[in-house]
Amino acid sequence: MQHVYAAHGGLTSVSLIHHPEQKSAIVTEVVTLPRFRGRGWASELLREVCSEADREGVELVLKVETSPGGLTEAELLAWYQRHGFTPVSADPEGLTLRRRPGSR
């Protein structure tokens, strides 16, 4: 099941695919339109998603992906780690992170 969380009139969004039978969700996208970045909106929305995942006992998994004009891979890693994500594996397609329920 696909879920999209949006804030600030859709200028920031977090998309994920939830697999309830596995108690996990794959975060497919965290986006803020370029001219609205740096305002903390993505952090605010990701905290909300993480809180809901904690309440439901759902693990979050994602691949770190950079985008033109966005944060570097190292900056993204640090940002996700502030939200409780930890590295799981690295491969040619990128770094995979996981956040277990209740992580801080």
CATH code, 2-99: 3.40.630.30
CA distance 57 to 72: 30
**What does the pLDDT look like over 42-88, one tens digit per residue?**
999 999 999 999 999 999 999 999 888 889 999 999 999 999 999 99
Distance CA 64, CA 55 (A): 24
Q: What is the DSSP letter of 102?
A: T
Q: Evaluate if pTM is beyond 0.85.
A: yes
